[in-house]
């Protein structure tokens, strides 16, 4: 298909959307993804910080596999399992400040000693050595997307957000989705999950099979986990697998 620019005109805060995606479940300590009956996707964990000022947040069992931490909705840091990170400095602006932890399952091992490794938050979480309790958890497998509270915007949006746009296709054909200016997330076309994108690569475009597209109007939705410098993506007929031996 000919190159097509798609402008994502509508956005919705992903932390707020958790209420639309799944009902919250209450736990004394944060459960693993498996305890929630979930195999893939994300889990949003939330509790309150019973302290004020600079504190040390410690995930005693680590995270599986990547956690974004927010205090009163503001980004506080990222922890990644592959970097063996389990501790983060946070600043609580008030007693009872909201702590949100969005954990992404990056995939599962199918061989070796890591088969069956738990995902999500995999142990108690402490603040200056004291356990944090009374967690609300939203399982977010994202195997389908319900109607979300999108709002129109024409400026880049920071923080985890869903973004939506439409485009027109005359004759469906295989295509590739290019996302320059976007950071990390998941893409859907007409409700079909194309996969995850990440600016660190190596692959720079997502394959769009022709049967996913339809003549006329099509819908693109992105879950961007960080931020974007643009509101536009491009559909093209050329792949980009990043660096190869032939480069």
Could you give the number of structural domains in the chain? 2
pTM recorded for the entire structure: 0.94
pLDDT of residue 247: 56
pLDDT of residue 125: 98
Domain boundary among 133, 154, 170: 133
Please check the confidence at residue 33 and state whether its pLDDT lies above 80: yes
CATH code of residue 150: 2.60.120.260
Q: How confident is the model at residue 59 (pLDDT cuts 50, 70, 90)?
A: very high
Q: How far apart are CA 123 and CA 35, in angstroms?
A: 12
Please check the confidence at residue 246 and state whether its pLDDT lies above 80: no
Domain boundary among 133, 162, 190: 133
Please check the confidence at residue 21 and state whether its pLDDT lies above 80: yes
Domain boundary among 68, 102, 133: 133
Please check the confidence at residue 178 and state whether its pLDDT lies above 60: yes
Domain that holds residue 215: 4-14+144-236
Q: In this structure, is residue 21 part of a structural domain? A: no
How much is the mean pLDDT over the chain? 94
Residue 61 sits in the same domain as residue 129: yes
> Are 146 and 184 contacting, i.e. CB atoms less than 8 angstroms apart?
no
Q: In this structure, is residue 179 part of a structural domain? A: yes
Backbone angles phi, psi at 19, to 5 degrees: -65, -30
Residue 93 sits in the same domain as residue 159: no
Q: In this structure, is residue 115 part of a structural domain? A: yes
pLDDT of residue 245: 63
> Are 160 and 225 contacting, i.e. CB atoms less than 8 angstroms apart?
yes
Residue 148 sits in the same domain as residue 127: no
Q: In this structure, is residue 19 part of a structural domain? A: no
Nearest to 33 by CA among 98, 103, 124: 103
Q: How far apart are CA 187 and CA 137, in angstroms?
A: 23
Tell me the per-residue pLDDT of 184-204, one tens digit each, with 9 for 90 and over: 999 999 999 999 999 998 889
């Amino acid at each position: 298909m000919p190159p097509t620019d798609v402008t994502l005109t509508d956005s919705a805060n992903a932390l707020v959307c958790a209420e639309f995606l799944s009902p919250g479940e209450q736990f004394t300590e944060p459960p693993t993804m498996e305890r929630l009956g979930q195999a893939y996707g994300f889990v949003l964990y939330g509790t309150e910080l019973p302290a004020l000022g600079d504190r040390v947040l410690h995930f005693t069992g680590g995270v599986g596999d990547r956690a974004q931490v927010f205090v009163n909705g503001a980004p506080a840091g990222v922890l990644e399992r592959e970097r063996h990170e389990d501790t983060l400095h946070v600043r609580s602006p008030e007693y009872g400040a909201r702590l949100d932890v969005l954990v992404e399952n990056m995939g599962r091992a199918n061989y070796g000693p890591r088969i069956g490794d738990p995902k999500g938050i995999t142990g108690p979480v402490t603040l200056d050595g004291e356990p944090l309790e009374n967690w609300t958890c939203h399982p977010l497998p994202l195997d389908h997307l319900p109607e979300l509270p999108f709002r129109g915007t024409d400026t880049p949006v920071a923080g985890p957000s869903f973004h939506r746009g439409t485009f027109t296709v005359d004759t469906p054909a295989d295509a590739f989705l290019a996302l320059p200016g976007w950071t990390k997330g998941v893409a859907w076309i007409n409700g079909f999950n194309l996969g995850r994108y990440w600016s660190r690569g190596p692959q720079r475009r997502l394959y769009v099979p022709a049967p996913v597209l339809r003549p006329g109007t099509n819908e693109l939705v992105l879950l961007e986990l960080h931020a974007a410098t643009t509101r536009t993506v491009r559909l093209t007929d050329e792949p980009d697998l990043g660096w190869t031996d032939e480069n």
